[in-house]
Structure 1
Amino acid sequence: MRLFAVADLHLGFAANRDALAEIKPRPDDWLILAGDVGETIRHMRLAFDALSPKFRRLVWVPGNHELWAVAGRDDEPGKPALRGEERYLAFVDLCREYGVLTPEDDYPLIDVEGTMARLVPMFLLYDYTFRPPGIADADALAWAREGGVRCADEQFLSPHPHASRAAWCRSLCEATEARLLGLGEEEAPRILVNHWPLREELAKPPRIPRFSLWCGTRKTEDWHRRYNAAAVVSGHLHMPSSRVIDGVRFEEVSFGYPKQWQGRRAPDDALRRIVV
């Protein structure tokens, strides 16, 4: 089978919802949804209802938008929005309803066009370490604001019950590392999937470089080497690209907001074929 990936579908936009119909069926293949499918359970159902019949299997990892707890946007009006870890696990439950693979499931060994590979969907978040060495942790947000950069995560992404987003990130990284180490020294290469890029050099949007603060953690800088990756898949930056670092292919597979794709490429062309 072939493996495809796309991120940042942002189904809060009507044009992006309409674009789902233009994605061609690939009934023998798998599709990775690398975060920011949308912001509500309804958005996720729209994606799964549209894409599950077109692919053999879907794989999902969360982005920051799924984790936003915005009053009035969730599917049960009058009830407070789920926050933090509880919100993430509600999306995991929805994925299980549809048979969609998540970071909470076993990492499957799959045949990708004749090569066996271990697919590793991850949820790692960020910890504000993608910043210059001279900027202290306590000054990181002020440094970003001085560059005219703010992130809605500071208002909408709760780390509950963790003390902070950085603390949640640390816990997620430690748990994921333990699982990766538990795989042992198998020969099969890994396909690492995370919404946020694993390396700082990949997390600097040219127009807003200080947005890097919300783009990952230095803890994962060498994971592509340490954990035998053949490919690393991410989104978040809305800058689709393919780069090779240390012999490993890094695929940024964002679709993006309507203004970023309309008139530039067809929705089906946003699906990136992942090879190992």
Structure 2
Amino acid sequence: MRLFALSDLHLGHRANREAIAEIAARPDDWLILAGDVAEKNEHIRFAFEHFAEKFAQLVWVPGNHELWTRPGTATVRGVARYEELIALCREYGVLTPEDDYPVIELESGTVRICPLFMLYDYSFRPPEIAFEDAIDWARQSGVLCSDEFFLSPHPYASRTEWCHARYAATRTRLDTLTGNYPTVLVNHWPLREDVASTPRIPRFSVWCGTRLTDDWHWRYRAKAVISGHIHIPSSRCVDGVAFEEVSFGYPKQWQGRRPHPDMAVREVLAS
């Protein structure tokens, strides 16, 4: 069995829905969907139905776009929206951050897959920029993430508070795992600031993660760390650990640049 990963499908775009039809079936293998599959449930269902026919098992973590709730159109928001997404996943047998972390046998060895849901706390910023100035600092360069309008943290007071609650609960869970298995950590937002670089809009970093997870790759014996969000696909090694950014991206980002959509599907820990 092999493990593959893909994120940021943004299936609200018709071109992306058409493109995933060209992704090859791998019926014996697992697929990680590392967030930003779509904003609407109908398109998330489309993805689950489509990929369930091509892969043996799907694993999903939320991105910011799944959590968006536009004013006047959504009936649930914040934590309730996340819980709605978990329920949707369970209709299709898709594994989530709320399920047991599965231990699987890959061709390259045994690993534990750990789907995570961490947000961001604006800490990916220069040390001289105070927390309360982070958003204004980003806006000075013309950058403002739409999360500030559409990603409700309800009932938490802020996204930072929600992030820190998720951090505390997830760390407790990881700390109490039994069995000394190497892990594959999966989170939509990068777990380290040095792999969250967006050269064209560098100050977008404040919406890209939290420094609280900077050491998780070695603390939790990771063999690979999977993320998306920044739309810059890459493979790099940090402290001997493979960090894989697996974004598909918006049509304007891949059309004419990628010979075939299937090339966006990344094999994790290829033997």
- TM-score where L is the length of structure 2: 0.97
The aligned runs of 1:247-258 (5 Å cut-off) are 247-258=240-251
1:236 — aligned with what?
229
- Shift in Å at residue 275 of structure 1? 0.6
Task: Output the amino acid matched with 1:35.
Answer: G
Q: Report SS of the residue matched to 2:128.
A: coil
Which of 157, 179, 185 is residue 173 of structure 2 equivalent to?
179
1:59 and 1:101 in contact (8 A); partners too: yes
Task: Output the amino acid matched with 2:262.
Answer: D
Q: Report SS of the residue matched to 1:46.
A: helix
Q: State yes or no: 1:45 paired with 2:39.
A: no
1:101 — aligned with what?
95
1:58 — aligned with what?
58
1:206 — aligned with what?
199
List per-residue Cα deviations over 1:80-130 (Å, max 9, x = no partner).
Answer: 432101001101101000000000000000011151100000000100000
Q: State yes or no: 1:124 paired with 2:118.
A: yes
- Shift in Å at residue 49 of structure 1? 1.2
1:28 — aligned with what?
28
Aligned-residue RMSD, C-alpha: 1.1
Q: Distance in 2 between matches of 1:153 and 1:101?
A: 25
Q: Distance in 1 between matches of 2:123 and 2:224?
A: 23
Task: Output the amino acid matched with 2:95.
Answer: L
Task: Output the amino acid matched with 1:260.
Answer: Q
2:117 and 2:188 in contact (8 A); partners too: yes
1:70 and 1:81 in contact (8 A); partners too: no
2:238 — aligned with what?
245
1:204 and 1:210 in contact (8 A); partners too: no
Alignment identity in percent? 64
1:77 — aligned with what?
none
1:76 — aligned with what?
none
Q: Distance in 1 between matches of 2:257 and 2:142?
A: 28
Q: Distance in 2 between matches of 1:137 and 1:81?
A: 31
2:150 — aligned with what?
156
Q: Report SS of the residue matched to 1:65.
A: helix
List per-residue Cα deviations over 1:119-165 (Å, max 9, x = no partner).
Answer: 00000010000000011111111100111111100000000011100
Q: Report SS of the residue matched to 1:238.
A: coil
2:108 and 2:269 in contact (8 A); partners too: no
- Shift in Å at residue 72 of structure 1? 6.4
Q: Report SS of the residue matched to 1:233.
A: strand
Q: State yes or no: 1:166 paired with 2:160.
A: yes
Task: Output the amino acid matched with 2:154.
Answer: H
Q: State yes or no: 1:3 paired with 2:3.
A: yes
Give the number of aligned pairs: 269
The aligned runs of 1:140-155 (5 Å cut-off) are 140-155=134-149
Q: Decide whether aligned partners of structure 1 residues 143 and 114 sit closer, same or farther in structure 2, where only a CA change above 3 A counts.
A: closer
Task: Output the amino acid matched with 1:42.
Answer: E
List per-residue Cα deviations over 1:178-227 (Å, max 9, x = no partner).
Answer: 1101114x332000000000001111200000000000000000000111
Task: Output the amino acid matched with 1:246.
Answer: D
Q: State yes or no: 1:115 paired with 2:109.
A: yes
- Shift in Å at residue 270 of structure 1? 0.4
Q: Distance in 2 between matches of 1:138 and 1:187?
A: 40
- TM-score where L is the length of structure 1: 0.95
Q: Bigger shift: 189-198 or 113-122?
A: 113-122
2:19 and 2:261 in contact (8 A); partners too: yes
Unaligned ranges ≥5, structure 2: none
Task: Output the amino acid matched with 1:30.
Answer: W
Q: Report SS of the residue matched to 1:47.
A: helix
Task: Output the amino acid matched with 2:78.
Answer: G
